[in-house]
């Protein structure tokens, strides 16, 4: 199944892959059409653009992964952002390709992904492994997968936030402006999927405490 809001892109991808023991069973331009098509056709592989005209493509990947547990989801996007890469993999994608991929490489990636192999350029795979290794060193163990999404600076901010420090105190400790600290806190809340600083602190402690149970955040300060 091809999911992209540009008909020309879908046509080009279809032309590149069909006929080589690959059949395109569905096309969709929107998230709602993708979910409807997925339920109808149950495709083996889904190629998804995470920028669907303002729609949250990462949320779509998450829903598709839940709906199609036996299917392989691959991102095909113009974005080379590390944040998009991490978010897509965390949401359930098994591969990430950029739209400058050659038709031959795209076809090879489809076959590789269907066999359970990683469909991703080596450079991106290296960045992904590096981020996982950094997270493991920073936290001691990656107890909470959401923590992997945070940048090194955001991890520093979260560590201080979990100690109960205010934005001004965090700014002073890290030699940044209070406004920058506030922006980092907002990004942390968004990436962790929590509502407030207390819940963020719970996720931090859960991910850095050996033997943590991994129970859901309660929203109550520790």
Q: Residue 145 has which token pair?
A: 């997968």
CB 5 within 8 A of CB 49: yes
In the chain, the percentage of residues whose pLDDT exceeds 70 is 86
Closest CA to 48 of 100, 96, 104: 96
What is the C-alpha separation between 206 and 183, in angstroms, rounded?
Answer: 23
Residue 185 scores a pLDDT above 50: yes
> At 77, which helix (H) or strand (E)?
strand 72-77
pLDDT of residue 222: 36
Residues 6+ apart with CB under 8 A from 161: 170, 185, 188, 197, 200, 201, 204
In the chain, the percentage of residues whose pLDDT exceeds 90 is 32
Where residue 159 falls among pLDDT bands split at 50, 70, 90?
A: confident
pLDDT of residue 6: 92
Whether the pTM exceeds 0.75: the reply is: no
Higher pLDDT, 103 or 151: 103
pLDDT of residue 34: 93
Residue 135 scores a pLDDT above 70: no
Higher pLDDT, 62 or 146: 62
pLDDT of residue 220: 38
All structural domains of the chain: 2-120 (3.40.50.2300), 127-208 (3.40.50.2300)
pLDDT of residue 136: 62
Q: What is the mean pLDDT of residues 51-76?
A: 86
| Low-confidence winner among 74-83, 96-105, 143-152 (lowest mean pLDDT) | 143-152
- Tally DSSP H helices, then E strands, for the chain: 10, 7
Residue 12 scores a pLDDT above 90: yes
Where residue 26 falls among pLDDT bands split at 50, 70, 90?
A: very high
Residue 216 scores a pLDDT above 50: no
Q: Which of 35-49, 82-96, 112-126, 132-146 is the most confident on average?
A: 35-49
Q: What is the mean pLDDT of residues 101-112?
A: 90
| Low-confidence winner among 11-20, 141-150, 197-206 (lowest mean pLDDT) | 141-150
pLDDT of residue 137: 63
DSSP state of 94: S
pLDDT of residue 217: 40
Q: Residue 112 has which token pair?
A: 């590789």
């Amino acid at each position: 199944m091809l999911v992209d809001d540009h008909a020309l892109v879908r046509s080009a991808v279809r032309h590149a892959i069909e006929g080589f023991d690959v059949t395109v069973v569905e096309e969709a331009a929107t998230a709602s059409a993708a979910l409807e098509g997925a339920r109808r056709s149950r495709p083996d592989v889904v190629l998804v653009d995470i920028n669907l005209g303002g729609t949250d493509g990462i949320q779509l990947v998450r829903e598709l992964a839940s709906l199609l547990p036996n299917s392989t989801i691959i991102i095909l996007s113009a974005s080379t952002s590390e944040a998009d890469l991490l978010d897509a993999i965390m949401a359930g994608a098994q591969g990430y390709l950029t739209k400058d991929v050659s038709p031959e490489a795209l076809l090879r990636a489809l076959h590789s992904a269907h066999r359970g192999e990683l469909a991703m350029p080596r450079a991106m795979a290296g960045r992904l492994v590096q981020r996982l290794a950094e997270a493991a060193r920073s936290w001691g163990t990656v107890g909470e997968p959401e923590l992997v999404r945070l940048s090194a600076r955001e991890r520093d901010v979260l560590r201080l936030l979990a100690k109960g420090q205010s934005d001004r105190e965090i700014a002073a400790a890290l030699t940044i402006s209070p406004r920058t600290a506030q922006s980092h806190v907002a990004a942390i809340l968004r990436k962790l999927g929590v509502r407030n600083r207390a819940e963020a602190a719970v996720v931090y402690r859960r991910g850095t405490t050996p033997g943590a149970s991994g129970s859901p955040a309660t929203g109550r300060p520790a």
